[in-house]
Amino acid sequence: MSSTPIKKHPLRFHEDDRGIRYCDIFPLEQGDVNITLLYPGALSAWHRHQLQDDYQLCVHGSLKFGLCDKPASQGGAVQWVYSSLRSAKDGALFIPRGIWHGYYNFGNEVAIVLYWLTSKYNPDDEERMTVEEMGFSWERRAK
């Protein structure tokens, strides 16, 4: 074994009542690779960015993603995408800049989302809106 010291890349860590986020996992020059552990029943919505695109992939559990261009009161329509490990083979969900988005863990276990941001995270680039302001229900309806 060489005498080269073992190094670790420091990452950003955030925890709240929705789950845990591990951010900037790898030392990339551009963008961030992040992992979120979202607790059962937790909702992370609505927000959008003007400077970055997102690529998100559910690698454990089950999530309901919501994407829309504007609130319901302004004529917006939401596109719902259900995602799980089973659907991960279809590829990561692309969320272009300017699109409102979020996700809801409707399962009974922690859901894990792996995602890449095309630019380094910038808190000044995150615009938020409440569920009530957006006007879309996250309820999962049985067919």
The token pair that represents 66 in the structure block: 């919501």
Is residue 2 pLDDT above 70, yes or no? Answer: no
Q: Where are the alpha helices (DSSP H) in the chain?
A: 131-134
State residue 123's pLDDT score: 87
Supply the DSSP symbol for 123. G
d(CA 128, CA 130): 7
Question: Which of 32, 25, 27 has the alpha carbon at shortest distance from 11?
Answer: 25
The neighbouring-strand residues paired with 57 are 114
| Confidence label for 143 from pLDDT (cuts 50, 70 and 90) | low
Work out the average pLDDT over 40-62. Answer: 95
| Confidence label for 11 from pLDDT (cuts 50, 70 and 90) | confident
Contact at 8 Å (CB) between 103 and 62? no
- Helix, strand and coil content of the chain, in percent to the nearest 5, comes to 10, 45, 45
Tokens 């829309």 -> residue: 68
State residue 1's pLDDT score: 55
The token pair that represents 112 in the structure block: 């894990």
3-state secondary structure of 87: helix
Work out the average pLDDT over 115-128. Answer: 93
The token pair that represents 6 in the structure block: 């073992």
